[in-house]
A and B are shown apart, each in its own frame.
Chain A
């Protein structure tokens, strides 16, 4: 690399070496090539393909590439599908609210009240332990818990709290929500606990010293500083809940259909155009949710 050394003295009359060529100057972009190619071929292209297929003409047994709005019109004029969209949004909001309500206090305990870094790590790992079993087992394990003859009903009957088993526990929206909250709450705890653990003790001491009560310190100092963690956790939970189909299938007995379930069913019956419409709608909803959450907190400034 002697050509770029600054200590070379140019003699008058001798021309300075030519500026490095365009290729030489931009060589470092080659580093991006594998990643960009991968994303193009396996993410951008399929997304565009999905959008394209959603306008194809679907007949009972075949699909051909004549462009039409028919699948879109069917989707938005059918109660079943619009209801599924609304149900997806409703369950998403409830699960998001519950994971926050359960996850934040847990994270606050781990991040602020556990002083020992090792214990912090152990507690966070403990949150992840359920993930050592497969998704399906975690979901199906709720059946013997919530069923008519399940653990909860048996215990409640034994103690005489109820005389008849509660049948609304399983195969309802409630069981889907219970299952999802249990699975996804850890994605809320992690990022929040991380942000809370990063808060310098001296900030809290300074606030105490300035005369603020513990509640004021939480409201004015700790909570605002944990917001980036809340946003990241909310994005994790939202993306996963909005795309959910397995939990609702396993815990609702196929009674609660989310957008994800519709896509699975339509693909299963080879209704590609229709599945594509649902896929595009889901992608748009997710993009809007993420954009909205990022609006709420300026992650670039806070992290």
Chain B
């Protein structure tokens, strides 16, 4: 188990991480989501010992690692660019850590070969042991890089955007593979990514990082359905976010006035999941438990199992509506065609002026 406390790092006076606290459990898949420049790579490099922290502590199973040199930490770091050694074969790359590490190197050639062979099997590289690095595809390099780290049996394996350089098809396969390999070894993975779908799909828990601060640490389901702040809601990329002022249980935005869920007082942000919005005729009747806004159609995007429709509100803001084709038939709209967008009031998430989620009855029940 790793405890990170008050970790801070600045580059040339520009803060990259500010007071980061995080605890990483044994045997878990932890994903770390953040936009580029959020400090997620810096956090990983500090943990690996490739950069030195300005302040704060990193403890692993009680031992202080904050200033330990990288080669004595016993952690694994899978580089984004794979960083395979070009002068060595696949097997020699994987064996490097076992043979040449400072702490407890394995000098018995048969033992090295046995462990390398086991790892080659696990990551699915059988038959490629003798290949040179230049003869491998991107996906194979990824596997070699992973095997090279995992064979040293690190306490925690740090992965820096491991799927970033792979094409879509391969990425989906590696998503499943990474989880399988992790479960087979029982090692903790700390997977850094800028892709919200990846972070949600792969993590047992996920951390959302922005501007060097941790915004939320929760299960992916909780992060998705109850983002702790407006910024998290934005990174999850599933919410229409409207900002305005509220008074007397109603949310005011320009000329429009929207009902807030019961129990919500002062809201500054109003969030609606893309798939919680319905597209109605302009003059359609509205149930009491629903709210609506007029909008004009801009464009739609067909995504296979679902269609995304983009609408413009009277004040110019864009609303995204997602309709799953298993539940709705696609509809055809002309550009600028007027429609009314409606949603159940209880589906609304409200955030206060500081951007923090205001809990309401529905969320109370969910938690």
Question: Given that A211-B102, A213-B71 are contacting pairs, would A205 and B79 also be in contact in the complex, using a CB cutoff of 8 Å?
Answer: yes
A210 touches B100 (CB 8 A): yes
Q: Is B191 an interface residue (CB 8 A)?
A: no
Tell me whether A220 is interfacial, beta carbon within 8 Å: yes
Majority-rule SS of B interface residues: loop
Is B97 interfacial (CB-CB < 8 Å)? yes
Q: Which residues of B are found within 8 Å of A220, using beta-carbon distances?
A: 85, 96, 100
**Residue pair A211, B85 in contact (C-beta under 8 Å):** no
Question: Is the pair B72, A221 in contact by a Cβ cutoff of 8 Å?
Answer: no
| Known interface pairs A205-B70, A205-B77; A212-B100 also in contact (CB < 8 Å) | yes
- In Å, the complex CA distance between A113 and B70 comes to 18
Q: Which of B76, B81, B96 contacts A202 (CB 8 A)?
A: B81
Contacts of A195-213 to chain B: CB distance below 8 A: 200, 202-203, 205-213
Convert A222-257 into 0s and 1s, putting 1 for each residue whose CB lies closer than 8 angstroms to a CB of B: 001100000000000000000000000000000000
Interface residue? B42 (CB, 8 A):
no
B77 A211 Cβ-Cβ under 8 A: no
Cβ-closest chain A residue relative to B81 = A202
Contact of A211 among B80, B86, B152 (CB under 8 A): B152
- Nearest A residue to B70, CB-CB: A208
Residues of A within 8 A of B96 (CB): 207, 210, 212, 220
Q: 0/1 per residue, B122-155, Cβ < 8 Å to A?
A: 0000000000000000000000010011001000
A278 to B30 alpha-carbon distance, docked (Å) = 73
Let me know if B83 and A225 touch, CB within 8 A. Answer: no
- The answer to whether B87 and A225 touch across the interface, beta carbons within 8 angstroms, is yes
Cβ contact within 8 Å between B79 and A202: yes
B185 at the binding interface (Cβ < 8 Å) = no
Most chain B beta-carbon contacts within 10 A, residue among A202, A207, A209, A213: A209
Interface centre among A205, A210, A224, A225 (most CB of B within 10 A): A210
Q: Is A68 an interface residue (CB 8 A)?
A: no
Q: For residue A114, give the distance in angstroms from its CB to the closest CB of chain B.
A: 18
Given contacts A210-B96, A220-B96, contact A205 B83 (CB under 8 A): yes
Closest Cβ of chain B: how far from A164's Cβ, in Å?
53
Fill in one digit per residue for B154-175: 1 if any A CB lies within 8 Å of its CB, else 0: 0000000000000000000000
Answer whether residue B290 sits at the interface, using C-beta atoms and an 8 A cutoff. no
Q: Is B286 part of the binding interface, using a Cβ–Cβ cutoff of 8 Å? A: no
Cβ distance A229 to chain B, nearest Cβ, rounded Å: 13
> Contact: B83 with A216, CB < 8 Å?
no
What bracket does the count of chain A residues touching chain B fall in? Answer: 10 to 19
Most buried by B among A206, A208, A211, A213: A211
CA distance A225 to B86 in the complex (A): 8
Whether A208 contacts B100 by the Cβ 8 Å rule is no
A220 vs B71: C-alpha distance when bound (angstroms): 15
C-alpha gap A205/B71 in the complex (Å): 9
Known A-B contacts A200-B81, A205-B79, A220-B96; A210 and B148 likewise in contact (beta carbons under 8 Å): yes
| Cβ distance A208 to chain B, nearest Cβ, rounded Å | 4
Contact of B50 among A208, A211, A216 (CB under 8 A): A208
Chain A min CB distance to B156 (Å): 12
Rounded to whole Å, the gap between the CB of A141 and the closest CB of chain B is 42
A224 neighbours in B (Cβ, 8 Å): 87
Minimal Cβ-Cβ distance residue in A for B105? A211
Among residues of B, the one whose C-beta sits closest to the C-beta of A199 is B86
By a CB distance below 8 angstroms, the chain B residues around A200 are 81, 83
Q: A205-B70, A220-B96, A225-B86 are in contact. Are A213 and B102 (CB under 8 A)?
A: yes
Q: In whole angstroms, what is the CA distance A224 to B89 when docked?
A: 13
| A206 (CB) vs chain B CBs: closest residue | B83
The CA of A212 and the CA of B100, in the complex, are separated in Å by: 5
Q: 8 tightest A-B contacts by CB?
A: A211-B101, A210-B97, A202-B83, A206-B83, A209-B77, A208-B70, A224-B87, A212-B100
- Besides the known contacts A206-B83, A209-B73, 5 further A-B residue pairs in the complex with CB atoms under 8 A apart: A205-B48, A206-B79, A206-B145, A206-B148, A212-B97
Q: Give me the interface of A with B, judged by CB distance under 8 Å.
A: 200, 202-203, 205-213, 216, 220-221, 224-225
